[in-house]
Amino acid sequence: MSTANDELEGKHGVQSLEVGMSILRAMATGRRSMMLKDIALAAGMPASKAHRYLVSLIRSGLVEQDRLTSRYDLGPFALNLGLVALDRIDRIRLGLAAITDLRDETNETVSLTVWSDAGPVVVRWERPRRLITVNVVTGTHLSLLRSAGGRVFAAWLPERQSETLLRRELETGKAPAGVTTYEEARALLAKVREEGLAIITDDDYFARGVEAAAAPVFNFKNEITMAIAIVGVEGSMDLAPDGPTLTALRRTAQELSRRLGATLEQG
């Protein structure tokens, strides 16, 4: 038979568990083994309190301590939990939910792109609730240099994965105006990395009268795994760097990256 205390605990959770999780979170964001004082500082509690919790976390296998250095790190059970969680992640399902929310927030066409042997390919798009829209065909293979999603992949993939396709686009005259050499293409992609996303307007886009912006999504290895793009009729979108459209795009890509386990700090 449940009591009032049981019901209260069910509503408010277990405080000691939440404190323990704050310690684990501090250790995870530290990215390396830590001294007790650093863990306490990051978790916002006295060292004596942090130590008591660390003793229990060590017993559970969530934390381990190096006897030589006295530094603490995540233990074998924590690592096992992480591997199980990663194995259960369905990146496409999470990506589809993310672009749907972004479509609702911006009322723009939003697409999700992944990498294939033939280059970036659109796996899903969401249409906004407006009369004039841009249709993105699922299964379309994108240009590396004349699409926002393509530029994002070419910018963050290891060069060996994109070089052949890049050179092919240059040789067949499919590069944007002013880009005629491989070195110029790499310089363009370096600027994309510097800005944190790709924006294409005017005649650089592979389809006339269209503009787009795309941001990278990273996985737990901090490798690009998907690209999210917002696509609209030329002149219809607010593409100001700090405007609501690009702000929403960046935030969505960053949040999805974190869901996939990425630890990169994106601008």
Mean pLDDT in residue range 229-233: 89
Segment among 25-29, 241-245, 248-252, 255-259 with least mean pLDDT: 25-29
102: number of CA atoms within 13 Å, CB side? 33
40 Rama sector, left if φ>0, alpha if ψ -120 to 50, beta otherwise: alpha
Which pLDDT belongs to residue 88?
Answer: 60
Q: In this structure, which amino acid lies at residue 115?
A: W
> Which pLDDT score, from 0 to 100, does residue 28 have?
83
Whether residue 229 contacts residue 150, with contact meaning beta carbons closer than 8 Å, is answered with no
- Rounded Cα distance, 126 and 112, in Å: 9
Q: Hey, what domains does the chain have and what are their CATH numbers?
A: 4-85 (1.10.10.10), 89-259 (3.30.450.40)
- Average confidence (pLDDT) over 53-76: 91
| Confidence (pLDDT) at 2 | 45
Using DSSP's 3-state secondary structure scheme, residue 191 falls into helix
Dist. CA 35–CA 100, nearest whole Å: 43
SS3 168: helix
Residue 80 has pLDDT above 50, yes or no: yes
Residue 19, class by beta-carbon neighbours within 10 Å (0-12 exposed, 13-18 middle, 19+ buried)? middle
Work out the number of other CB atoms within 10 angstroms of the CB of residue 18: 10
Sorting pLDDT into bands at 50, 70 and 90, what band is 89? low
When mean pLDDT is compared across 45-59, 67-81, 179-193, the lowest value belongs to 67-81
Weakest mean pLDDT among 6-10, 37-41, 59-63, 183-187: 6-10
Residue 7: what pLDDT?
45
Of 18-32, 51-65, 198-212, the range with the lowest mean pLDDT is: 198-212
At 71, give phi and psi (nearest 5°): -85, 150
Say yes or no to pLDDT of 126 above 70: yes
Residue 29, classified by CB atoms within 10 Å of its CB into exposed (0-12), middle (13-18) or buried (19+), is exposed
Identify which of 122, 99, 114 has the alpha carbon closest to the alpha carbon of residue 206.
122
Query: How far is Cα 48 from Cα 194, in angstroms, rounded to an integer?
Result: 43
Mean of pLDDT values over 135-141:
78
pLDDT at 20 over 60: yes
User: Mean of the pLDDT values across residues 41-52?
Assistant: 92
Question: What local confidence, expressed as pLDDT, does residue 129 receive?
Answer: 82
Q: What is the pTM of this model?
A: 0.68
**DSSP-derived 3-state class of residue 214:** strand
pLDDT, mean of residues 145-163: 94
Q: How confident is the model at residue 76 (pLDDT cuts 50, 70, 90)?
A: confident
Give the tokens for residue 157: 């993939």
pLDDT at position 204 over 70: no
Residue type, 112: L
Q: What is the mean pLDDT of the chain?
A: 86
pLDDT higher than threshold 90 for residue 128: no
Cα 53 from Cα 68, distance rounded (Å) = 21
Q: What percent of the chain has pLDDT over 70?
A: 86
